[in-house]
Amino acid sequence: MYFDIYYVILVLPTVILALIAQARVKSTFNTYSKVFNRRGMTGAQVAEAILHGAGIYDVQIMPIQGSLTDNYNPSTKVVSLSESVYGSTSIAAAGVAAHECGHAIQHHVGYAPLQFRNAIIPITQIGSRLSMPLILAGLVFTYFTSGSYAGSNFAYTLIYIGIAAFGLSVLFQVVTVPVEFNASRRALDILGSSQLLEQDEVGHAKKVLSAAAMTYVAAMAQSLAMLLRLLLIFGRGRDRR
């Protein structure tokens, strides 16, 4: 039986971290979704006020089904707010709506990390789809060409191309973290300076956005751990040849 020590010491801790981050963001959101902002503004109204305050009038605000499915699509210029945000007057809704508007503002001002992330999306999507099939194909070739130097070389070439393809999806995760933190910072600054929320309410919104940000940190850590695991496993495998 094969015991994957690299999974245990590298990947498993990040999986646990991701589960904790997901539980924390849901718990924090649920807590502050029951605390309503004093101005009585819905998430959609907060989003509209922020966008117009930034001089952005060509971005639509639309409801979307699901929970915590909020997003900004730069290609369609649509801020999509989930059912628990769009029509809610909670502090959590205001914070999430402001965060998505933070992305719209990033897009409007040409924030470089967001532009870079958007530019690499097509190749990262291709990489994430092809990485595992390429690695598996390489493993199959390794098994059937164990006695052939040329065949084994080709097999490891496939594996390393697969690892490189996986690395592209890791790059996306790495770039995403500063983009998300910057959107939250913009959101909190605007919520406070425009007085859409009172200062104590901004503090509560910060807790919601900080919890959400940790899910991106956990996802990045998990991807990096997986990449390192692949490099260690197949690097050792080639050294033993």
d(CA 15, CA 222): 6
- Catalytic residue check, 48: no
Give, in order, the Cα–Cα distances in Å from 66 to each of 27, 84, 119.
16, 8, 27
Helix ranges restricted to H, the chain: 5-6, 12-32, 43-53, 83-86, 91-109, 112-144, 149-193, 199-239
Q: Residues 48, 83, 100, 201: which is the catalytic one? A: 100
Residue 97 has a CB neighbour count (10 Å cut-off) of 32
Hey, what are 140's tokens?
């199959």
Cβ–Cβ under 8 Å, residues 187 and 98? yes
Bridge partners, residue 72, by sequence: 79
Indicate which residues carry an active-site annotation. Answer: 100
